[in-house]
Amino acid sequence: MKVYKTEQIRNIALLGNAGSGKTTLAEAMLLEGGVINRRGEVTSKNTVSDYTPIEQEYGNSVYSSVLYAEYNDRKINILDTPGMDDLNGQTVPALEVSDMALIMINSSNGVEAGTEAAARNAEANHSPVVFIFNQLDHENANYEHALDRCKSTFGNKVTVVQYPVETGPGFNSIVDVLKMKLYRYGKDGGQPEVLDIPASEKDKAEELHNALVEMAAENEESLMELYFEQGSLSEEEIRKGMRLGIVQRDLFPVFCVGAKKNIGVSRLMEFIVNVGPSPNCLPQKPIVAGKEVKLSETDVPSLFVFKTSVESHVGEITYFKVMSGKIVEGTDLTNTNNSSKERLSQLFVTAGKNRVKVQELIAGDIGCSVKLKDTKYNHTLTTKESGTQFEPMRFPLPRHRVAVKAVNESDDEKVGEVLNRVKYEDPSFIVEYSKELRQLIVHSQGEYHMNILKWYFDNVYKIEVEFKEPRIPYRETITKPSQADYRHKKQSGGAGQFGEVHMIIEPYEEGVAPKGLFLLDGKEYKLSVRDVQEHNLSWGGKLLYINCIVGGSIDARFMPAILKGIMEKIEQGPLTGSYARDIIVYVYDGKMHPVDSNEISFKLAGRNAFSQAFKKANPKILEPIYDLEVWVPGERMGDVMSDLQGRRALIMGMGSEKGFEKISARVPLKEMNKYATSLSSVTGGRGLFKMTYNSYEKVPADVQEELLKAYEAEQDEE
């Protein structure tokens, strides 16, 4: 393959709602670019892009695919992304390394939830955007309605470059108002006849042409002056203005295709190579360490890894974008994220699972290598002297969580290995083992996303697993002072065990000094505070451990053992086994035995005395409360509010933001199980939400009663 210079490269990402035709367009572009000689179809499971077994079984994209096409002495790198909202994490890497987003619109459905999501992702990444109206040959296609929706949703930056003469089964002609020509296609698409615009379309085409010229001229002062002088601009001048507008996100051109019949695809590719920005037209990716580099062939070599995957018979494949310099086969580079050395012994460009070996890749190009040792997504490879490290990609926050457990305990280790591998191929999965909950938790984007994980366990790794609702990280605390004492005594021949501990506990409040006097159950306790230890608990809150021993009733060497026993019970609270917090413990008396007293005796005495005192101190369960922000279409506001109220949510405020109604609320984590699925169902996939931890608050009495009963039943089972 020819080595392409930076200015000859175009990197594009295909975005849009599921079913908008991204994979079909990619297939047509590969046909036009000579990569394939026969177009595959999604329904026939033979497309270049959707090549993994799960994609072929599901009938839609699950992963982003890296493809390429050569056209008019240019190379177009294509990143085909999934359209399902749960697979949003696959869009992040595609936008990270592309220089323009093509957002597909199904002309029958117009702007859908996935269209809006794609536009939001592109905006967050500051990506230039072109809207592609596809499926114009469908009997329900309605270009004008879809265009109106597009303009009302995304504003007056949406500018028509092409429109269809007719939609539906008779769709075969496109008016191009940049070239002011009509493109007419045969029944199999391909290369069109290029004709003059017929008289019936002349006025409409002139009006749209003038609007396009004005939009193009607005992007540079000299073009605007020229436009005022001449009343028009040449095609080359329009292209220049459009390129500036596209890069600055001040212009969103509209193109028309019938991807399935290869209508309009060659003209779209011509526009991409003539007007679309090359990699050096956009700002370089920010760095977090080392020297800044320029996206230039002459700078030091550096590359950014945006994707890793594993294929049978091949192993690990590492996909990267060359950020500076040039990479040649056999190059030795340093991974600046972990200081390991890597040799790129082989370089490839890819079209799905098909790899073409190349000798060299220039700044701005996209390629891959195999069998790198310690390099994963978000890593930078460059020279040791440069030390450059590029800013990592940021993936969407998880919206769904499950506890994963092997049905057979002997498979526990295998489950961990699988999850570790999966999170590298799909970084929007987050895997953690919660010591507190004693569960392996997987965070994902939604139930569909989690079903993909289940598919791999069932079909690839053949491991039977259970997906359960995760436990909630409750906290336990007390609301009033109480007293308890406990004697641990054990005699079984020889040295025995003896330890007795008397303690008072009370709730901890910030800034409140320890007390010296308590009146409990009609009895007065006077304490002499001798030592105060403040322990910040890793799970939040505090424990104050106060030594009030006088007269040597408990030797000082046993005080740490008592604390250890208390901490054991705090880590597994008496009510539900959850962490306890915000407690002051006064150890004020006890007894020892000259022979039988030891550390284990006082640890057990302290633990049991604390447990008894805790249960008498009017204990309460605290639950995690989250701040919730929900964005919904106005017509679904009432349904979403009703759903939230059923989840014990406290509505904090309402407002409008970017065409959506915004609800701010505080809601218990317990009530948010499968909320992503529920919100999507209620809003037709258009609702969005974000959750952030706020605080712990007491659960209502009825909820506490349910939790206590559930814990007792669980203990009985064990």
Q: For 493-504, how does the pLDDT look when each residue is reduced to its tens digit (9 = 90+)?
A: 667 899 999 999
Number of helices (H), then strands (E), belonging to the chain: the values are 16, 40
Q: What are 213-238's pLDDT values in tens digits? A: 999 999 888 888 888 888 889 999 99
Percent of the chain with pLDDT over 90: 86
Give residue for tokens 């950014």. 304
Domains in the chain: ranges and CATH: 6-281 (3.40.50.300), 287-390 (2.40.30.10), 400-468 (3.30.70.870), 476-617 (3.30.230.10), 621-703 (3.30.70.240)
Q: What are 509-561's pLDDT values in tens digits? A: 998 889 999 999 999 999 999 999 999 999 999 999 999 999 899 999 999 99
Q: What are 506-519's pLDDT values in tens digits? A: 999 998 889 999 99
311 pLDDT exceeds 90?
Answer: no
Reported residue count of the chain is 718
Count of CB atoms situated within 10 Å of the CB of 133: 27
pLDDT at 424: 86
Asked if 9 and 365 touch (Cβ cutoff 8 Å), the reply is yes
DSSP state of 205: H
288 pLDDT exceeds 90?
Answer: yes
SS3 assignment, position 407: coil
492 pLDDT exceeds 80?
Answer: no
pLDDT at 493: 66
Percent of the chain with pLDDT over 70: 99
What angle (nearest 5°) sits at the alpha carbon of residue 682, between those of residues 677 and 683?
100
pLDDT at 232: 85
Q: What is the mean pLDDT of residues 292-313?
A: 93
pTM of the model: 0.88
Q: Kindly tell me the sign of the dihedral angle through the C-alpha atoms of 553, 558, 564, 569.
A: negative
pLDDT at 69: 97
pLDDT at 718: 57
E-state strands within 236-351: 252-256, 287-289, 302-311, 315-324, 326-328, 331-335, 341-344, 347-351
Q: What are 95-148's pLDDT values in tens digits? A: 999 999 999 999 999 999 999 999 999 999 999 999 999 999 999 999 999 999
Q: What are 427-485's pLDDT values in tens digits? A: 999 999 998 898 999 999 999 999 999 999 999 999 999 999 999 999 999 999 999 99
pLDDT at 713: 83
- Packed helices 221-230 and 235-247: angle between N→C axes, nearest 10 degrees: 150
